[in-house]
Chains A and B, each alone.
Chain A
């Protein structure tokens, strides 16, 4: 099974070589073979006697992350959809994409996507699932931005990337939580330990994160906004990713985890209400679109909402209908995207306001469209599969006996059938609009960029196969029911689910009455659509999620740049102030919180007059460096401080220090005197009073902090110094009487080595600074 997943990735590596022969043979032919092989491989598992099977391949055993693939009914449904529609789309793209396009890039992305999608639906290991999940986001990003010279493509690609990756990361959070709780990385084992997760205090968080991942990927309200913008991708991509496969990854995830999550009331509340809102909003918005692919995008959103709602219901009928509709939606939506692509290809435009009356020019395409749209609308005809799943949907919304009646759930339960009918009315309207707006009415050939004529046969093959699927499933629903859908539904429900699908249940069957209501109201609304156009100008207006998204992205950019500009103004003084203030706050806070400040006077040396005298001199000198405005005075009194320090070293019995300090201070003062002549004169203080006050506060605070740290450190010594060792062994091991010097060159000689290096580097740098010509001198 691993080879089935890896095959597209491996073949993607060979595409650039095959692409060299594109003048003779279109690259797409090589690509089409791959999904066909995969389809044949998985089709062998079809049949009533199907049993789930698992294969594992070791990857990172130490972290319990392995390539474990689990093929059950749900996975089988998805792999067949992915490979089957993948083959049709690849074949369609041969005729859709001209040889002058960057075919190599296209098919590499396409195969990467197919492989990762197969990985998503087959993985049993949560981290492998997540890896493939992000891979689909990535390859989808590349495919949406395929025509990267267009601004809209780049915008759409970025938008889908941001939203789906946001959801992907939430999903990772949920998966990590569940892994930690159950101590396994296998989805099947997690589900078998579902009580652990359901009773955990983190359960609300897990549910929220997991559903966030599923809702963003499957374009549920309010994360649906990336899907209409993803229509900038080439049409085969829209047909494949944005109708049949990737947008169903979220559905797959919810279905996969529903044996675990569906016992929670919150799962019902969130998933059903989000699904039903998406259904209504998507179908309402679809009527408003003028772009054929725009209509289909919103229609996809709305249909996904319907599937999501049914998964939320969680009853046997609902789950069966959801799985059935996944299959049905993939067939008719795929064909409709291809129809839209043909119309675009043959007339040069997708704007429905310019189109019309194409029936006589594109008779085959029109025939295909009529099946697709009527099936999408759920028109009660016995040869359309969309009707069955829609009727099952109505049935499911009416039969929620398993669900409690209390509080909000009760209200939601009562409202669901009405909302379902409401959404379906608009579904009917946009389906009719799609078909009649494009193919009926008066042809306006002068406005079309190209003179329309029927598409080449190759382009028609794929939609014909899909429409045949629509009709065959419509005529013989039992054909896919037992060997296929029942297994998938059982996998979702966790127990055997089988449902006979019939066309006719009698006149008094409530779902049929609902379907007829939809039909009647839909027809009335479609015919009177010009009259209620003003409603559309009013309703999405402020509610548009696109505005929220654009505003959010805009604001994030402006605010973050404003924040950066606020503190990064290029002034060194400000950065130093910030750093010092941070040190002050942290140190004082720690001292206050831990009671770190202690004074212990039991072990202090007695005061004596010479030290006090030197100290007072140093204080006066140090303060004068601030007060003086004469540079030579400043330098000399800095010298006073240095010499004072060496006096202190003498008094504290540190002869080597005193010596070094004396020499260093002398050389430093000499250096200052050398340089000062070339520096501009010291000026009076130029800062504003407030800045000066702030500087004063910071410096006094810092001095106080150092004093307090010194006193506390002195007052709380816990260990004896290790110096006794040096004193004892200085002569014995080092052969010297001067302990400080023995430490410097013998015990801790490495310090000295690098101190010499520092001096050497400084000397070389100074030489370089003086000798090398500057920028100004070059010019």
Chain B
């Protein structure tokens, strides 16, 4: 299962990076979304998958899944949400002010 998840995370990274390398702002933001999904899956895979019950203490259960990666991912999800929403508004603003969403056209002049 870990191997499969590693491959899935790899594919999420591949598609995310490919989108990131495009010129359009929207595609770039989609790319970052995919990359953060990949990273979350990656962290989860680093712990051990499917070894016991959810980490909520209950009578009579001996093994639980690893709670630490889950806590880390939870933090990460919230942060990437914050960043993604900021990025979206920034893209909206940039497209509105510059009249284009093409990164190649947003270079500024030679002296900047």
Contact = CB atoms under 8 A, between A and B. Distances in A.
Interface of A: 570-573, 576-577, 580, 599, 601, 603-608, 611-612, 615, 618-619, 622-623, 625-626, 631, 634-635, 638, 641-642, 645, 648-649, 651-657, 660-661, 664, 667-668, 671-672, 675-676, 678-680, 682-683, 685-687, 695-696, 698-700, 702-707, 710-711, 713-714, 721-723, 726-727, 730-731, 737-740, 743-744, 748, 751-752, 755, 758-759, 761-763, 765-766, 769-770, 774-776
A571 B104 contact: yes
6 pairs of A and B residues whose beta carbons are closest in the complex: A703-B14, A707-B10, A710-B6, A762-B82, A699-B17, A570-B107
28 contacts: A571-B107, A573-B21, A576-B21, A580-B17, A622-B11, A622-B12, A625-B34, A653-B53, A653-B55, A654-B54, A655-B56, A671-B85, A672-B88, A680-B100, A680-B101, A699-B14, A703-B13, A710-B6, A710-B9, A714-B6, A737-B57, A738-B57, A740-B67, A740-B71, A743-B71, A758-B82, A766-B86, A769-B93
Interface in B22-46: 22-27, 29-30, 33-34, 37-38, 40-42, 44-46
Nearest to A634: B30
Contacts of B30: 625, 634-635, 638
Contact of B15 (A622, A738, A758): A622
A577 B21 contact: yes
B86 A703 contact: no
Contact of B73 (A577, A657, A682): A657
A769 B33 contact: no
Contact of A605 (B2, B38, B104): B2
Chain A's interface: helix, strand, loop or mixed, by majority?
helix
Contacts of A626: 15, 18-19
A679 B23 CA distance: 13
A762 B97 contact: no
A655 B54 contact: yes
B9 A675 contact: no
Contacts, number: 276
Contacts of A763: 82
A755 B100 contact: no
Contacts of A618: 8, 12
A772 B15 CA distance: 35
Contact of A710 (B42, B77, B88, B93): B42
Q: How large is the interface on B (under 10, 10 to 19, 20 to 34, 35 or more residues)?
A: 35 or more
A739 B85 CA distance: 29
Q: Please indicate which of the listed interface residues A611, A612, A740, A758 has the most CB atoms of chain B within 10 Å of its own CB.
A: A740
B70 A740 contact: yes
A613 to B, nearest CB: 12
B26 A634 contact: yes
Interface string B64-82: 1111101101110111011
Given A573-B21, A714-B45, A762 B83 contact: yes
Given A660-B74, A703-B10, 15 more contacts: A607-B4, A623-B15, A631-B26, A641-B34, A651-B50, A652-B65, A664-B77, A675-B88, A679-B91, A707-B6, A714-B45, A739-B56, A761-B82, A763-B82, A766-B85
Contacts of A710: 2, 5-6, 9-10, 42, 45-46
A730 B54 contact: no
Contacts of B60: none
A657 B34 contact: no
A648 B41 contact: yes
Nearest to A669: B33
Given A737-B57, A769-B90, A711 B18 contact: no
A658 to B, nearest CB: 10
A752 B46 CA distance: 21
A652 B96 contact: no
